Amino acid sequence: MINSNTLETFSELERLQSEIKRLKRKNYQLESKANSYRKKYLRYHAFFEISSDPFYITTYPGPPTENYPNPRDYLKQWKIIEVNNTATQIMGYSKKQLTSLSLGDIATHNAPKSKQTRSIIKELVNPIEKGQMFSIERDHIDRRGNKIEVEIKGQAVNIGGIKYIASLSRDISDRKKLEKEILKSYRLEKHCRQVLQKEIANRIDFTLALIHELKSPLTPILSSSETLLSREEPDSLNAELARNIYHGAKSLNACISELLDLAKSEISGLTLQRTSLLLNPLLSEIAGELTPYIQSHRQELILDLPEQLPAVLADPERIKQVLRNLLNNAVKYNREKGRITLKAGERDPLITISVHDQGRKIAQKDQLNLFKPYFRCSQDRARTDGLGIGLALSKQLVELHSGEIYIRSVRGKGTTIIFTLPVFSNTGRTSGK
């Protein structure tokens, strides 16, 4: 017999059955959702673990509420909620221990507190608030209390509608050590440079003082011997002695002037007084000036100039100085009764000036050093008529004029020193004679 009680039980059963069905459906849905989450988790976890740098996910408490919170207290609100294995290995904690700590427990900074807070706000909070990536350098303290210098790079991530911070912290101790070493060696180098500059300045001061001391007594010797020479009969013994004194003093004077120029070039570089210059008259003048000296050495000077040469932009005194150096060398290192040729020509856009002598060939290896200060070929080192400065100075002077100087030396033919000067393009071709 079916009474009302039985009917109630039936309908209850039906309700329960449909409830069970609904719950089963829900269970199924939840399980597939859980499965999909599990898969996602495994995928992200794999990324997490691939990283050879420690990886952290922390909570984000938002910007500090006070202007100057205690940095440690503030960072204690950044709770570590997830780390990878590298983080646990490097920090020496288990995963459980590390995820019960906060950034305030593992990060430290040597700067004063207010500065730390400022840097946290500027370098960490501000970029996070703007949705940008941050990058800061700090020290992490591992479980044993060792300091690890790290560069932390990270960004805010949204997980289930909540803002977290994901960051990678790279160990930069080696880089920092290297930076310190570089800084140290840079400071050392700077110190050495300063000491060296002081030494050079002292040496230059000394050289300038020495040159002055050497030049002063030469002036009366030069003028007295010249006066004496003009008063004596040219062939007399006294004239011969006066001539020796005069030439000796003049060559000494030239050496001292070279030294002075070299010292000047070391201090501030030589300077030029350039003007538009015609070379024919200048070369003729130098030839005239040196002919008596060349003839007194029983040598001959040939001047080989074209009718006209374009002008150059040059310092006439410095060009004469170069020519005197080259012609003096040609005389000094020429063969007995040798011929010297001073020649000029134009090879657009350059003017070429050469001094040729008939002396010995300069060895190839010496040619490489010829223009270095104080260099003299081995067979000339005992000579007392030079210091090995003339060619070095000539090179500097020619290069100051944007020219080049070089040598050609052939056995049996002698030596030619050639230098070039650029044609002054603003002026037209003008006759030099």
260 is a site residue for ligand ADP (CB under 6 A): no
388 is a site residue for ligand ADP (CB under 6 A): yes
Whether 134 contacts 155, CB under 8 Å: yes
In the list 267, 272, 387, 418, the residue contacting ligand ADP (rule: CB under 6 A) is 387
**Residue 259 beta carbon to ligand ADP: minimum distance, rounded to whole angstroms:** 11
Q: If you ran DSSP here, which 8-state letter would residue 124 be given?
A: I
Q: If you ran DSSP here, which 8-state letter would residue 389 be given?
A: -
391 is a site residue for ligand ADP (CB under 6 A): yes
Q: Is 266 exposed, middle or buried (0-12, 13-18, 19+ CB in 10 A)?
A: middle
In the list 330, 340, 398, 421, the residue contacting ligand ADP (rule: CB under 6 A) is 330
CA 55 – CA 87 distance, rounded (Å)? 6
168 is a site residue for ligand ADP (CB under 6 A): no
414 is a site residue for Mg ion (CB under 5 A): no
Q: Are strands 162-171 and 275-277 parallel, antiparallel or unpaired?
A: unpaired
Length of the chain: 433
CB neighbours of 119 closer than 8 A, spacing ≥ 6? 109, 111, 136
| Structure-token pair, residue 234 | 């040219």
**Residue 426 beta carbon to Mg ion: minimum distance, rounded to whole angstroms:** 34
CA 118 vs CA 67, 74, 151, 193, 347: distances in Å? 9, 12, 18, 38, 69
Residue with Cβ nearer ligand ADP (173 or 379): 379
Enumerate residues 411-430 that contact ligand ADP by CB under 6 A: 415
**Which of the choices Mg ion, ligand ADP, none does residue 403 contact, using the CB cut-off of 5 to 8 A by kind?**
none
Closest CA to 326 of 307, 341, 337, 336: 341
Residue with Cβ nearer ligand ADP (86 or 299): 299
| Structure-token pair, residue 192 | 């050495």
Q: Which residue has the tokens 């230098």?
A: 419
CA 81 – CA 53 distance, rounded (Å)? 17
CA 317 – CA 393 distance, rounded (Å)? 13
Q: Alpha-carbon torsion 335, 336, 339, 340, what sign?
A: positive
370 is a site residue for ligand ADP (CB under 6 A): yes
Closest CA to 268 of 396, 395, 388, 394: 396
- Binding track, positions 288-327, relative to ligand ADP; x by CB under 6 A: -------------------------------------x--
CA 340 vs CA 180, 359, 360, 380: distances in Å? 63, 10, 13, 20
In the list 329, 354, 358, 396, the residue contacting ligand ADP (rule: CB under 6 A) is 329
Q: Which range of residues in 14-22, 125-133, 375-383, 395-403 is near ligand ADP by CB under 6 A?
A: 375-383
**Which of the choices ligand ADP, Mg ion, none does residue 333 contact, using the CB cut-off of 5 to 8 A by kind?**
ligand ADP
117 is a site residue for Mg ion (CB under 5 A): no
Residue with Cβ nearer ligand ADP (55 or 333): 333
CA 394 – CA 258 distance, rounded (Å)? 10
Q: Which range of residues in 130-138, 196-204, 325-333, 406-414 is near Mg ion by CB under 5 A?
A: 325-333
Residue with Cβ nearer Mg ion (371 or 424): 371
In the list 386, 396, 419, 421, the residue contacting ligand ADP (rule: CB under 6 A) is 386
In the list 153, 297, 376, 408, the residue contacting ligand ADP (rule: CB under 6 A) is 376
Whether 303 contacts 433, CB under 8 Å: no
Collapse the DSSP code of 366 into the 3-class scheme (helix H, G, I; strand E, B; otherwise coil) and give the result.
helix
Residue with Cβ nearer Mg ion (386 or 403): 386
Q: Which range of residues in 87-95, 207-215, 300-308, 380-388 is near ligand ADP by CB under 6 A?
A: 380-388
How many other CB atoms sit within 10 Å of the CB of residue 174? 9
**Residue 411 beta carbon to ligand ADP: minimum distance, rounded to whole angstroms:** 12
405 is a site residue for ligand ADP (CB under 6 A): no
In the list 71, 310, 359, 390, the residue contacting Mg ion (rule: CB under 5 A) is 390
338 is a site residue for Mg ion (CB under 5 A): no
388 is a site residue for Mg ion (CB under 5 A): no
Q: What residue ranges bind Mg ion (CB under 5 A)?
A: 329, 386, 390
